[in-house]
Amino acid sequence: MRYCTGITCSDLERKRFVNKCEQFDATFIPHDFVDGGASNDSVARSVPNGGSYISTPVVYRGYIYLANYNGLLRCFDFKTGEKMYEERLGLDVSCSASLVAADGKIYCPVEQGTVYVIKAGPKLETLAKNELGAPCLATPAISQGVIYFRTSESLIAVG
């Protein structure tokens, strides 16, 4: 799985798709469209008002997860586009950092300095809320079993 700001590329079940999230819409496009296609006929599915605004979504174990600046966390079945859930993480929660996934979990750091650890799957299950002690706007990094969180005050390594 590869992902980068604005466009998320993913190999899933031998089909290449590009997930393009712009401000409010999520669009799933077969890779052929990016390599020279020129019409909306190549769009596999689009979810109006389903995209994230700042953070990049993550595709993990057959689902795509999107967090928005207003605290909404959305999960769609990547293959069918069916919405699995759309729920608010909490009051006054803002997500700017991109989501990351590992070990069956989705990690969602929010600007207020909390990391929401979500069980990967079709139902929202919050496994933990970990306080970082300072605002977090940066996307976590995962390397060799360690997850790194950069806050406005420090770098935290867990694992």
Give the percent of the chain with pLDDT over 90: 55
Q: By CB neighbour count within 10 A (0-12 exposed, 13-18 middle, 19+ buried), where does 98 fall?
A: buried
Which pLDDT belongs to residue 26?
52
Contact 135, 111 (CB under 8 A): yes
Domain count, the chain: 1
pLDDT at 47: 67
Q: CA-CA distances (angstroms) from residue 21 to 4, 29, 54, 57, 108?
A: 11, 11, 9, 8, 17
Contact 157, 146 (CB under 8 A): yes
Instruction: Give the CATH number of the domain where residue 15 resides.
Output: 2.40.128.630
Condensed to tens digits (0 to 9), the pLDDT of residues 90-149 reads 989 999 999 999 999 999 999 999 999 999 999 999 999 999 999 999 999 999 999 999
Q: Show the domain range for 41.
A: 2-158
At 80, the pLDDT band (50, 70, 90 cuts) reads: confident
Measured in whole angstroms, the distance separating CA 25 from the mean position of its chain's CA atoms is 14
* Residue 39's pLDDT band (cuts 50, 70, 90): low
Q: What was the pLDDT predicted at 42?
A: 57
The type of residue at 130 is N
